Amino acid sequence: MSNSALTTAAPAIDPTFENVWDEIVWRGLVHVSTDQEALRALLAGDPITYYCGFDPTAPSLHLGNLVQLLLLRRLQLAGHKPLGLVGGSTGLVGDPRPTAERTLNTPETVAEWVGRLRSQVERYLSFEGDNAARLVNNLDWTAPMSAIDFLREIGKHYRVGTMLKKDAVAARLNSDAGISYTEFSYQILQGMDFLELYRQYDCVLQTGGSDQWGNLTSGTDLIRRVEGESAHAIGTPLITNSDGTKFGKSEGNAIWLDAEMCSPYRMYQFWLSSADADVIERLKIFTFLTRAEIEDYAALVESEPFRRAAQKRLALEVVATVHGIDATAAVIAASEALFGQGDLTALDAVTLRSALEELPNATVSVGTTVVDALVATGLVASLSEARRAITQGGVSLDGARIEDGAAVVQGTLPGGVSVLRRGKKTLAGIFLG
């Protein structure tokens, strides 16, 4: 598929809303916040500086972070000034997890991940114009501070009773693992970040996931106590599927924004598989489609759900946002060709391999018969079943029907791979090794 055949929504705020606050509320991006009327007025007025923090506790951001990145961009498009904070210091500690202590990574690992996350954050913001974005690292103001200074200047403003009531802390206190002072102090560090950004850049708004609400209000409370001024916070909803399951995460299988950790093909298929009950809310949060466009897709979900038009548009928009139009064109072409609507031999080798890795697959030696490959990939349970499937005309290799049980896998597709098909829709990948 050529790039010119793909049309995506240009990042822009929807002019049908009176205020960007009204738009983000309509998109379902406000689960909890400080005073809503004050926020609405603030975002309708002169440009403000706002921020969101990203901790380098992994070498890549994931779909949960993408919610924040797109919110940062929406507010910037409305004229406000974003700060993207990558937590070089908070990444060394880690915010409390619900059940157990985090593994502390080495300073060298965290520093490497800081660089990787900075490059990811940069892709979603504009660094030009009157409201150009800035990237900051909280290690810059945390590292020079002594423990005594930290306790005297910051710690004295916190009350332990209030800190114990924070949801993340309370959950850990009631668990068998308990909580260390290291993780307990995380909310103080995040509060100090907001205070520092308020002082340096007049930053008056922080965004984050609603599960971070205790940490977000740590900063607003600290600014009120130390500076006597009001600051604001927006907590976005935690995205879950309509059946209550976690969104975009499973054991060892998170949807990362780094193409090396999650291929564009896999990301595309993830969005394409969105349930009808979820897809419209996903379009609101993860795309820049207008309210009118999204309402049109909502109507299509109701009237023609079998076409999955909303899911296809969602997958197109998000993968293009994260990986670019070239990668998106390649994965759409691969998806279509694998299911008989395109030329397998014309596919990009890297995209084809990543697509086959998402299918049942096997690595076989040169000269392996199709019969053996059917068994190796799990498309059939036995050699006799494999021969029967071939006799019945239900097996193809690289798009060509197999009629001879002695036929061998050639690896003739780009990258030296093959695609094995049983029936119309059951596919497997073959890698020669």
| Tokens encoding 160 | 């332990």
Is the pLDDT reported for residue 227 higher than 60?
yes
Is the pLDDT reported for residue 102 higher than 70?
yes
Strands lying side by side in the sheet with 426-432: 361-364, 426-432, 417-422, 395-397, 400-401
Residue 300 near residue 311 (C-beta atoms within 8 A)? no
CATH superfamily to which 239-344 belongs? Tyrosyl-Transfer RNA Synthetase (1.10.240.10)
pLDDT given at position 252: 57
Please tell me what DSSP assigns to residue 152: I
Query: Is the model more confident about 2 or about 233?
Result: 233
Ranges of CATH 3.10.290.10 domains, the chain = 359-433
**Domain 359-433 falls in which CATH fold?**
3.10.290
**Which stretch of 90-104, 230-244, 301-315, 383-397 has the lowest confidence by average pLDDT?**
90-104
Ranges of CATH 1.10.240.10 domains, the chain = 239-344
pLDDT given at position 4: 47
Q: Torsions phi, psi of 323, nearest 5?
A: -115, -5
Residue 395 near residue 303 (C-beta atoms within 8 A)? no
CATH number of the domain at 31-236, out of 3.40.640.10, 2.102.10.10, 3.40.50.620, 3.90.1150.10? 3.40.50.620
Burial 229-258 (b: 16+ CB within 10 A, else e): eebbbbbbbebeeeeeeebbeeeeebbbbb
Model confidence, pTM: 0.92
Query: Is the model more confident about 164 or about 193?
Result: 193
